[in-house]
Each structure stands twice: as C-alpha cells, then as structure tokens.
Amino acid sequence: MIYGAMKFSIGGPLKLAFRPWVEGLENIPAEGPAILASNHLSFSDSFFLPAVLDRKVTFIAKAEYFTTPGVKGRLTAAFFKGVGQLPVDRSGARGAGEAAIKSGIEVLERGELFGIYPEGTRSPDGRLYRGKPGGLARVALATGAPVIPVAMIDTEKIQPPGKVMPKLMRPGIRIGEPLDFTRYQGMEHDRFVLRAVTDEVMYEIMKLSGQEYVDIYATAAKRQLQEAAKAEKEAAKEAAKEAAKGAAKEAAKDLARAQGERPRRERSGS
C-alpha cells in the first residue's frame, strides 16, 4: 500500500516532468521472480526505473538512510521504505555483501522483482565499470531467477554534481531480454562461474547502454580520481608557494638595488 502511494505521488510527477522513454518493457515478466541488473549513473536511477514499471522493484540501500535520528531521519527512512528500498549495513564489506545476498534471495522467493547495480556504486564519469561478482551472480544462481539487463541512459546529466536544480530532459531506459543461468545452479561458490555470469550480464548492459567499458571496479576508479585531484591540489599549492618565493626574491632584489642606488645619489648630490 505504501509503495503504491509513493509510486503514485512520486512516479507520476516524475514521468510527467521528465517523460522518460523506454524500450523493452515486454521483457519484464508479468509475474514471478526476476533480477533487474542495471548500470548506475545517478541517484535517480532507483526512481526512474520503478516509475516506468507496473510491478514493484526492491533495491538495496545503505542502512544510514534508515537510521538517521531526528524528524528528518524518520521522514527519510519512511520515504526509502515506501519506494521499495531495503536497508543493508555496509560498515563491514563481507557482512554487507552477505546481507545484500540474503535480502535479494528473500525478495525473489516472494516472487518479486529485485533490482541490483552490479558495479556496486555509481559510475564516476559515465563509463561502465567491471561488475562485482559476489551479489548479482550468487543471488541468480541461488534462486534460478532470470537476470534482465537494464541500461539507464543520460540520467547522470539530469543533476550533475554541484547542481541544485535538476535539468528537465528525457532520460532513457533500455530493457534487454532475460538471461538464463540455471545451467550453473549449485555453483554459486565457484568464483570462476561467478565471474563468468557477471561478465556476461555486464556485456549485455554495455550493448544496451552504448557506454565505454572499463575493466576495473568503479570504487577503484573513484579512488584514482580522488588521488589525482589531491595530487593536483598539492601541486597547485606547491606552485603557489614557489611563485610566492620567487616574488619575494624579486622584491628583495629590487629593494637591494634601490638601497644601493640611494648612496650614489646622495654622493652625487653632495
């Protein structure tokens, strides 16, 4: 009931304002469990995809959204619960992964749709990054549910970092044909199988999205960007220091020249 109310109050205006275009809706089953594996470009991905579907989609969200104290925290928690988000504590990497897998299996065992972002985090630059095999593949092999690749298009352009007001434009959603991995059932602890399943899904997402693929994890790419930004900042700081030193030396030389010329002027004047 809450999800329906939230979908009506948020999904309706969202579709009206942004008019997202959709391809492949016929690939979403009318009933039964399925995994929607999507690229991740923007915070809004978890809103646009459910907005265009008739069925409820449950995503994983970090626990902080549900545990923040105060009135704002309670409202935030109610909002995320209402739009079908499940809290997962990400403070411990292994524990978080197991919790996400367990939550996904429970959703699918109820015959519902489970949404997951195989990259594990939002793309830092609009490119498609290597999928993490622990969540998507293990849930798929443990349940036998089909995996439906999904590509979000241009959602990162709606509200780029630093922009308060969203840009009114039409994002897109491409939904691919379901992928069947039941041939690997019972092999959810084989890391080579998990890698193969994940790579196959990421390949289908790449074809749908048209994104450039980068064979490293998005988390590693974000660290590299942060380190590069830090190094650039340090370099700018050092350059400013050197420039200040150079200016001080030139000022000292000018002063020394002025002081040397003063006695000569005084002697010539006498």
For 49-73, how does the pLDDT look when each residue is reduced to its tens digit (9 = 90+)? 999 999 999 987 766 666 667 766 6
Considering the domain architecture, whether residues 75 and 23 belong to the same structural domain is answered as yes
Chosen domain end from 216, 237, 252 = 216
DSSP 95-128: HHHHHHHHHHHHHHHTT-EEEE-TTSS--SSS-E
Residues 80 and 180 both lie in one domain: yes
State the Cα–Cα distance between residues 191 and 76, nearest whole angstrom. Answer: 37
Query: What pLDDT sits at residue 124?
Result: 93
> Do 153 and 136 have their domain in common?
yes
Question: pLDDT class for 263, splitting at 50, 70, 90?
Answer: low
Whether 120 and 225 map to the same domain: the answer is no
CA distance 23 to 265: 87
How much is the pLDDT for 136?
A: 93
| Helix, strand counts (H, E) of the chain | 9, 9
Query: According to the 3-state scheme, what is the secondary structure of 192-219?
Result: HHHHHHHHHHHHHHHHHHCCCEECCCHH
Q: State the pLDDT at residue 194.
A: 96
DSSP code of 25? G
Q: Given its phi and psi angles, is residue 117 left (phi above 0), alpha (psi -120 to 50 degrees) or beta?
A: beta
Tell me, yes or no, whether 254 and 142 share the same domain: no
Q: Tell me what pLDDT residue 253 has.
A: 78
User: pLDDT at residue 80 above 80?
Assistant: no
For the cut 60, the answer to whether the pLDDT of residue 220 exceeds it is yes
Is 70 exceeded by the pLDDT of residue 36?
yes
**Range picked from 151-160, 174-183, 232-241 for highest mean pLDDT:** 174-183
Q: Are residues 137 and 258 in the same domain?
A: no
pTM for the complete prediction? Answer: 0.79
Residues in the chain: 270
Residue 78: pLDDT over 70: no
Residue 169 near residue 225, CB atoms below 8 Å: no
| Helix, strand and coil percent figures for the chain, each rounded to 5 | 55, 15, 30
Q: Supply the Cα-derived Rg of the chain in whole angstroms.
A: 27
Nearest to 100 by CA among 143, 136, 130: 136
Looking at the fold, whether 195 and 236 belong to one and the same domain comes out as no
Mean pLDDT computed over 20-35: 97
Check residue 87 and give its pLDDT. Answer: 67
Report pLDDT for 266: 60
Residue type, 5: A
Please say whether the beta carbons of 41 and 210 come within 8 A.
no
Q: What are phi and psi of 59, to 5 degrees?
A: -110, 165
**Cα 52 to Cα 10, 36, 95, 158, 270, distances in angstroms:** 11, 13, 32, 17, 95
Tens digit of each residue's pLDDT (9 = 90 or more) over 158-182: 987 667 788 899 999 999 999 999 9
CA 46 – CA 40 distance, rounded (Å): 9
> Quick one: pLDDT at residue 10?
74
Residues 182 and 264 in one domain: no
CATH classification at residue 41: 3.40.1130.10
Same domain, 212 and 253: no
- Tally of domains in the chain: 2
Q: What pLDDT score does 248 carry?
A: 73
AA letter at 236: A
Residue 23 lies in domain:
2-216
Same-domain pairing of 36 and 154 = yes
Mean pLDDT in the chain? 85
Tokens of residue 74, six digits? 């309670």
pLDDT at 236: 75
Provide the percentage of residues in the chain whose pLDDT is more than 90: 49
Single-letter residue type at 220: A
Examine the domain organization and report whether 243 and 139 are in the same domain.
no
Do residues 48 and 61 share a domain?
yes
Question: Which pLDDT does position 229 carry in this prediction?
Answer: 75
Q: Residue 218 contacts by C-beta under 8 Å, 6 or more apart in sequence?
A: 119, 120, 121, 122, 123, 124, 129, 130
pLDDT of residue 46: 86
